[in-house]
Amino acid sequence: MRYDVVVIGAGVAGLTAGARLAEGGARVCVLAKGMGSTHLAPGTVDVLGYDGGERVESPASVLPDFVSRHPDHPYALVSVAPALEWFAACVERGPKPGYRYVGSLEHNVLLPTALGAARPSALVPTTMAGGDLGDPAPICVVGFRVLRDFHASLCAANVARSGVEARGVEIDLNLHTGRAEENSLGIARHFDDPGFRSAFSTRVAPSLRPGERLGLPAVLGVRDPQGALTDLEQRLERPLFEIPTLPPSAPGIRVYDILRAALRSAGGRLVIGAEVVGASRDGTRVTSVRAHTSGHDHVYEARWFVLATGGVASGAIELGSDWVARENALGLSLSGAPADGAARFDPDYFAEQPLNRIGVAVDSSLTGEGTDNVLVAGAALPGAIPWREGSGEGISLSTGFAAARTVLEREGAAAAA
Amino acid sequence: MNPDTRHPTPDTPLFDLLRGSLDHCVKCTICETACPVSNVTPLFPGPKYAGPQAERYRDPAAPSVEWSVDYCSGCGICTQVCPQGVKIAELNAHARRRVKARKGVPLRDKIVGRPTLLGRLGTPAAPLANASLRLRPIRVLAEKVLGVHRDAPVPKFAGRTFRSWAKKHKSPATGRRVVYFHGCGTQYYEPDVGEKVVAVLEHNGFEVDVPLKQDCCGLPLQSNGLFDDARAYVLRLARVLAPHARNGAIIVGNATSCTLMLKREAREILELEDDPDLKLVSEKTYDICELLLELHDRGELNTDFRPLEESVAYHAPCQQQGHWIGKPALDLLALVPGLQVHEMDARCCGIAGTYGLKAEKYDIAMKVGEDLFQQVADSGAAVVACDSETCRWQIEHGTHKPSAHPIELLHRAYGL
Amino acid sequence: MAAITTDVLVIGGGATGAGVAWDAALRGLDVVLSDRKDFSEGTSGRFHGLLHSGGRYAVKDPQAAVECIGENVILRRVAADNIEDTGGFFVTTPFDDPAYADRFVQGCRDTGIPCEEIDVAVALREEPRLNPEISRAFRVPDASMDIWKTVWALARGARDRGARLLTYHETVAIHRSGDEVTGARLRDARSGEEVDVEAAVTVSATGAWAGRIADMAGIEGVRVLPGKGIMIAMNHRLVNTVINRCQMPTDGDIIVPIRTVSVIGTTDVHVDDPDDRTIAQDQVDAMLEDGERLVPGFKRARALRVWSGVRPLFEDAKADDVSTRDVTRAHALLDHAERDGVSRFVTITGGKVTTFRLMAEETVDAVCRQLGRGGPCLTRTQALPGSEDGRFYHVSERLERKERHLQEDQLVCECELIPRARLEKAFEQRDTHNLDDIRRYLRLGMGPCQGGFCIYRATGILHQLDGMTAEEANHTLREFLEERWHGVWPILYGDQLRQARLDEWIFQGVLDVEHVQ
């Protein structure tokens, strides 16, 4: 099959690149071997939460210095603001009515985690904004026994230690599904139902005290989270917010839905289940990629490729039992790996691990080393430790956005030439 | 580890494709978010539980200790969405078979597993058979005696077979040969769909061969745990089709479940990786929409479509999704001027082959399909396009709207 | 300071120590069983799980072989619930000396080990992942034994008969009064409180640490050389039968299917410090190669965890014949009254886990001699708690139980199928805040995700149940993560690295465990 651009990977970076390319008029196909990281991530947009272990108050202020200290970091190659603006606009015109992301690069919002730590994020959905720990209003954290993935009393106990009054309460959700356990997504589907919300409000109200804001696990609906939020805040007459917890992540799935809709409405194609296992080249130009599909492999030809396959967590970059690291889809060179014979891991779990920053080697335009026409975006890039720095979505959005822009510019230049 | 270890060939050292794939599971829960069955019933705890997780507890030498995996419908969506490459649905299929080996396979499953048998019995007496199957008392009796739910969507026998038409039909000799694998649905219930497939292929310059000795691909037997019988059927079919493939022809089919069986499921689930005929056939098999779209991509598709000022909803069956090629039907339908296509966003219509026919599973199947039926209603579309015949029957049952294979719309748009 | 009086103080809660407590309690003695950490945290909890048929020693060490097969039969009778009747194969691979097989057969015959040669085709049919190039195969009654379960069954059995169990009680002094040992002072590592135990007889069942305890008692010449070996648990049962290479015992020559994993082991490196738990990368690499010889494709399978254990190799400094000083795997019962003139003190060391019951029997015999009372040994016939019906454990048990009670309770640890009620009960029974203790007790967090999902859940449940403070909960969570990392980083490649990265996203990304107050 022939396209202008083939994007490999349907996480935040891949869908962003695909949607931007389609919006720019390119014929795009996004190939993915499965669902991406969105379903597992909290759903906030984290740009820079921690710099060398120290909490960052303002990403905008810190980034220039951060980048000068980490010249190999993806932030050294791209600007963040345009991608965030685009994302916020996507959310607003997306399939979740009234749902918005708030915040800015100027100031990180501190939100409680399911453990009760305070985690900094740049943009957060309206359904989480009420949990800002910069606000001193006391919090009642409500959990449900049926949701084993969230523990209100532990969350509240740790929040309280950080200076905001908090207590934990467990109530019965009465789902009547016949299941002893339910995950966040299953519960979120119930919260999409106004009848359920009404019953829930009646059940939870007696446990709440005046002046308290209500913290729930991240279950405020998938289809209409803003509707759920507004409805519940009205019924319970207090601010309400959701707290991200163990996967599956309802807020993360909303992000997937939104980016998927952006890709679709711009005319882009998405193929789930097609794992890219090889490529053909003509010198330094990749001419096509081969996807493992049922029966016979499918070949996708394109003029440009965006590799947004993720890093180690998705299996895009793999360390064999021979201790050699490989990039699995196109076989591109890697950088940031420890030298041969050097330690790959530190015995201290919380130490900086030598293998952390490994990624696909790129030049300053995000073009993969040894290729002319493969751009790399997202967690596949070297130089960052997104889960520790709190930079995952920031990197994925900004590099996916930039990769798309670079391709469109080069296409335009090629057409003009 | 290079990617080839995920897709072992006879050259890679002894590696158990299914059990070995459980190692890839990182418990991420993505499969659970997508499973259409576990999301509507507590009787199936979900793909993560039934597949890679339970597999670590299974002893091949001892009888199965399970029952809940029998509620897995085999839709395969879990395997499709798994980002790590775990063969979840395939592991479930094996586990299901062992459950049935312990409990015994009900007569019902042996019957619905053999559409050819049903077809041969029902076709000569079609009017009577069709009328009976629509008589309430008979359906109630069938439910009590056999376990086929009284409301389950059973198709109508056409009263004639596709091959009886094909025998008399001669494709214009163009030299561009293609072999048509029509499947049991077309043969006994929808021979007109088969005629349209042939017409569309001929309209695009193909000479269509219909091997008259072809029979069932064995998928219903496999999904009902009758692996040995399924193997016999699919290998028989492979023997019929392979010589054509060896002569350079490609094999095309319109039943996306059956073409998937040939492409992948027979090799993976029935462990027939070593059969050279099946391997060749699987590599040369195409879904009709897949083929036409590739033609279009090369600029070779006849696009003289007349406008169809209609609104159609398109649902990709879960086993069409199992081809992992996206939704070629969507791109084809987009070529028809005036046609408004609404892409449905549902995972499964619920029928999952023979699953939704069963008395103990019918309600689950209807709950699974609820979301799709609602989306169809909301779309306002007049007809639902869908590549699999069992899904079409379920969709008609659940939406009370007509359902057609995408090829039928193209056929009409071509004015054939 | 607290004080306890007892008949027998058993220092060391591994298989031998717990076995001594069980045996002594059955004979009507009052027992205190102590360990500086959790029971079976030492060598016992760190072996590969093999219940020997003795085949491995049939040629090299016939005496050990005889002991093994004898104990194999007895343990199958009295400890069935802790044993999986997997059976074992000895196979001659292309890397083995074919001549050894005949010596093996003869050795089995001489030592009374049931050994049946089977067709290679039969072996390969039963174990399809085995190297297809094996030339000979023999069936023996190897089995796998869950030692954590066994030790707790022993301890429970002793406690049911009045014994007191003191985990996390480190021995800080052995009390001597002239030529007698009168007991010991123990310190609770969790509270810092000390307790004096006055005992009629003190038993040191401390394995590789026996020298240290003997030193405390002022006894010289108890030299136990720690022989360190590593083992790797593979994510699933690559085989369902114990597979041994048919050759003289060497590194990485055995794969043991136990519970939901298969364990490959081991190596043998003499170290100085019994607490040396470092893992050498080159040993890990070598062991993966060893696995490849028995099961082609082994290196592509997922490694779950690696750990080391130290064998207690007793070197008798007081052996009469200096020239034949041999470091043996046989056990050594040191009655210090006879050996050193210090009475009411006995050391039991050396040996293998398989022979723990025999070691315990000999020890308690010696204790009774010193005490002047206590009946005959009952452990050959008395079933352990949980093993009364004589049914072997089967790998599918937890799945079967879950299927029978499918929607009745939540699974907290999904990988190991642990329901919430079971976890809550364990927290109560064990009275511990240490999740690693529960890991040994229930296998919490021992599956593929290595706690990625279940540890937050378990911490939350424990916090709620127990009225723990948040600090304690955070500490317990962090401790678990750090402890887990020790066993994971040397085998972090392929699927397991991917899992570890996902777990980091969860713990550091979503939960931000690093920055909790």
B21 located within any domain: yes
Could you give phi then psi for residue C309, rounded to 5 degrees? -135, 155
Domain region containing C285: 59-145+227-311
* CATH code, C270: 3.30.9.10
Instruction: Please check whether residue B14 is in contact with residue B24, taking contact to mean a CB–CB distance below 8 angstroms.
Output: no
Same domain, C204 and C68: no
Nearest Cβ partner for A320 among C410, C485, C494 = C494
Question: For residue C125, which residues of chain B lie inside 8 Å, CB to CB?
Answer: none
pLDDT at residue B3 in the model: 42
From residue C445, how far is each of B221, C415, C441 by CA, in Å?
39, 8, 11
pLDDT at residue C325 in the model: 38
* CATH code, B54: 1.10.1060.10
Strand partners, C6: C199
- By C-alpha distance, the chain A residue nearest C287 is A321
Residue ranges covered by each domain of chain A: 1-302+386-405
Question: For residue C458, which residues of chain A lie inside 8 Å, CB to CB?
Answer: none
Domain region containing B335: 306-414
In sequence order, what are the residues at sequence separation of 6 or more whose Cβ sits closer than 8 angstroms to the Cβ of residue B281? B237, B238, B241, B242, B245, B251, B262
Contact B27 C296 (CB under 8 A): no
Question: For residue B58, which residues of chain C lie inside 8 Å, CB to CB?
Answer: 395-396, 399
How far off is chain B from A42, nearest CA to CA, in Å?
14
What angle is formed at CA A276 by the lines to CA A275 and CA A278, rounded to 5 degrees?
A: 145
Rounded distance, CA A66 to CA A52, Å? 10
Q: Does A223 touch chain B (CB under 8 A)?
A: no
Output helix, strand, coil percentages for chain C, rounded to the nearest 5.
Answer: 40, 25, 35
* Cα-to-chain-centroid distance, residue C248: 23
How far off is chain B from A56, nearest CA to CA, in Å?
29
Question: For residue A178, which residues of chain B lie inside 8 Å, CB to CB?
Answer: 41-42
Q: Suggest the residue from C396, C415, C443 to mutate for an interface test with chain B (most B CBs closer than 10 A).
A: C396
Same domain, C207 and C285: no
Same domain, C272 and C349: no
B140 located within any domain: no
Burial tier of A52 (Cβ tally within 10 Å: 0-12, 13-18, 19+): exposed
Instruction: Please check whether residue A117 is in contact with residue C517, taking contact to mean a CB–CB distance below 8 angstroms.
Output: yes
Q: Does A324 touch chain B (CB under 8 A)?
A: no
Same domain, C123 and C214: no
Q: Does A270 touch chain B (CB under 8 A)?
A: yes
Q: Which residues in chain A come in under a pLDDT of 50?
A: none
Nearest Cβ partner for B67 among C235, C403, C498 = C403
Indicate the number of domains in chain C.
Answer: 3
* B395 has a pLDDT exceeding 70: yes
Strand partners, C128: none
Q: Report which secondary-structure segment, H or E, holds C419.
A: strand C418-419
What is the crossing angle of helices A12-23 and A392-416, to 10°? Answer: 30
**Is the bond preceding residue C150 a cis peptide, omega within 30 degrees?**
no
Rounded distance, CA A248 to CA A246, Å? 6
In sequence order, what are the residues at sequence separation of 6 or more whose Cβ sits closer than 8 angstroms to the Cβ of residue C503? C449, C450, C451, C452
Ramachandran sector of residue B2 (left: φ over 0; alpha: ψ -120 to 50; beta: rest): beta
- The predicted-structure confidence for B109-158, as pLDDT tens digits, reads as follows 999 999 999 999 999 999 999 999 999 999 999 999 999 999 999 999 99
Map chain A to HEC letters: CECCEEEECCCHHHHHHHHHHHHCCCCEEEEECCCCHHHHCCCCECCCCEECCEECCCHHHHHHHHHHHCCCCHHHCCCCHHHHHHHHHHHHCCCCCCCCEEEECCECEEEECCCCCEEEECEEEHHHHCCCCCCCCCEEEEEECCCCCCCHHHHHHHHHHCCCCEEEEEECCCCCCCCCCCCHHHHHHHHCCHHHHHHHHHHHHHHCCCCCEEEEECCCCCCCHHHHHHHHHHHHCCCEEEECCCCCCHHHHHHHHHHHHHHHHCCCEEEECCEEEEEEEECCEEEEEEEECCCCCEEEECCEEEECCCCCCCCCEEECCCCCEEECCCCCCEECCCCCCCCCCCCCCCCCCCCCCCEECECCCCEECCCCCEEECHHHCCCCCHHHHCCHHHHHHHHHHHHHHHHHHHHHHHHHC
pLDDT at residue B274 in the model: 87
What is the number of other CB atoms lying within 10 angstroms of the CB of residue A183?
Answer: 25
pLDDT at residue C383 in the model: 98
In sequence order, what are the residues at sequence separation of 6 or more whose Cβ sits closer than 8 angstroms to the Cβ of residue A234? none
pLDDT at residue C433 in the model: 83
- The predicted-structure confidence for B296-324, as pLDDT tens digits, reads as follows 999 999 999 999 999 999 999 999 999 99
Contact A36 B83 (CB under 8 A): yes
Nearest by Cα to C348 from C365, C324, C323, C371: C365
Q: What is the mean pLDDT of residues B268-273?
A: 92
Rounded distance, CA A98 to CA A92, Å? 7
Rounded distance, CA C486 to CA C282, Å? 16
* CATH code, B372: 3.40.50
C319 located within any domain: yes
Which residue, of B50, B82, B103, is where some domain finishes?
B103
B88 located within any domain: yes
C381 located within any domain: no
Q: Which positions in chain C have a beta carbon within 8 angstroms of at least one beta carbon in chain B?
A: 126, 128-129, 132, 235-237, 240, 260, 295-297, 300-302, 394-396, 398-400, 403, 406-407, 414-415, 417, 447-449, 452-453, 493-495, 498-499, 502
pLDDT at residue B5 in the model: 45
pLDDT at residue C330 in the model: 79
How far off is chain C from B111, nearest CA to CA, in Å?
28
Rounded distance, CA B43 to CA C398, Å? 18
Total beta-carbon pairs less than 8 A apart between chain B and chain C: 96
Q: Suggest the residue from A12, A128, A146, A151 to mutate for an interface test with chain C (most C CBs closer than 10 A).
A: A151
Contact B26 C296 (CB under 8 A): no
Contact B324 A274 (CB under 8 A): yes
Q: What is the mean pLDDT of residues B208-221?
A: 96
Q: Report which secondary-structure segment, H or E, holds C356.
A: helix C356-371
B239 located within any domain: no
- What tokens does C442 get? 């229930």
**Entry field: residues in chain B:** 416
Q: What is the DSSP letter of B309?
A: -
- What tokens does C314 get? 């007793």
Q: State the chains in contact with A (3 or more Cβ–Cβ pairs under 8 Å).
A: B, C
Contact C410 A160 (CB under 8 A): no
pLDDT at residue C323 in the model: 38
* B12 has a pLDDT exceeding 90: no
Q: Does B274 touch chain C (CB under 8 A)?
A: no
Contact B325 A271 (CB under 8 A): yes
Rounded distance, CA A318 to CA A305, Å? 20
pLDDT at residue A414 in the model: 76
Q: Does B311 touch chain C (CB under 8 A)?
A: no
pLDDT at residue C319 in the model: 57
Q: Suggest the residue from B1, B43, B262 to mutate for an interface test with chain A (most A CBs closer than 10 A).
A: B1
- The predicted-structure confidence for B332-382, as pLDDT tens digits, reads as follows 999 999 999 999 999 999 999 999 999 999 999 999 999 999 999 999 999
Q: What is the mean pLDDT of residues B12-25?
A: 81
Contact C417 B57 (CB under 8 A): yes
Burial tier of B117 (Cβ tally within 10 Å: 0-12, 13-18, 19+): middle
Indicate the number of domains in chain B.
Answer: 2
Contact A344 C492 (CB under 8 A): yes
C392 located within any domain: no
Rounded distance, CA B253 to CA B270, Å? 21
Contact C415 B13 (CB under 8 A): no
Same domain, C248 and C208: no
Same domain, C196 and C240: no
Q: State the chains in contact with C (3 or more Cβ–Cβ pairs under 8 Å).
A: A, B
B336 located within any domain: yes
Contact A311 C501 (CB under 8 A): yes
- What tokens does C338 get? 């006879």
- What tokens does A50 get? 């921690």
User: For A1-302+386-405, CATH number?
Assistant: 3.50.50
Tens of pLDDT, residue by residue, chain C (517 residues): 899 999 999 999 999 999 999 999 999 999 999 999 999 998 988 888 999 999 999 999 999 999 999 999 999 999 999 999 999 999 999 999 999 999 999 999 999 999 999 999 999 999 999 999 999 999 999 999 999 999 999 999 999 999 999 999 999 999 999 999 999 999 999 999 999 999 999 999 999 999 999 999 999 889 899 999 999 999 999 999 999 999 998 999 999 999 999 999 999 999 999 999 899 889 999 999 999 999 998 998 999 999 999 999 888 766 554 433 345 567 899 999 999 999 999 999 999 899 999 999 999 999 999 999 989 999 999 999 999 999 999 999 999 999 999 999 999 999 999 999 999 999 988 888 889 899 999 999 999 999 999 999 999 999 998 778 999 999 999 999 999 999 999 999 999 999 999 999 999 999 999 998 7
Which residue, of C332, C353, C371, is where some domain finishes?
C371
* Long-range residue pairs from A172-180, CB within 8 A, at least 24 positions apart, any chain: A172/A144, A172/A145, A172/A203, A173/A144, A173/A146, A173/A147, A173/A200, A174/A199, A174/A203, A175/A146, A177/B42, A178/B41, A178/B42, A178/C407, A179/A146, A179/B42, A179/C407, A180/A146, A180/C407, A180/C408, A180/C409, A180/C410
Nearest Cβ partner for C494 among B1, B45, B58 = B1
In sequence order, what are the residues at sequence separation of 6 or more whose Cβ sits closer than 8 angstroms to the Cβ of residue A172? A144, A145, A203
Same domain, C167 and C255: no
Contact A248 B32 (CB under 8 A): yes
Question: For residue B282, which residues of chain A lie inside 8 Å, CB to CB?
Answer: 295-296
C57 residue type, one letter: Y
Nearest Cβ partner for A294 among B28, B81, B263 = B263
Give buried/exposed letters for B214-244 (b at 16+ CB in 10 A, else e). Answer: bbbbbbbbbbbbbbebbbebbbbbbebbbeb
Q: What is the mean pLDDT of residues B39-64?
A: 96
Same domain, C234 and C217: no
Rounded distance, CA C468 to CA C61, Å? 52
Contact B53 C415 (CB under 8 A): yes
Total beta-carbon pairs less than 8 A apart between chain A and chain B: 117
Contact C411 A181 (CB under 8 A): yes
Same domain, C192 and C292: no
Same domain, C72 and C162: no
Q: What is the mean pLDDT of residues B69-83?
A: 97
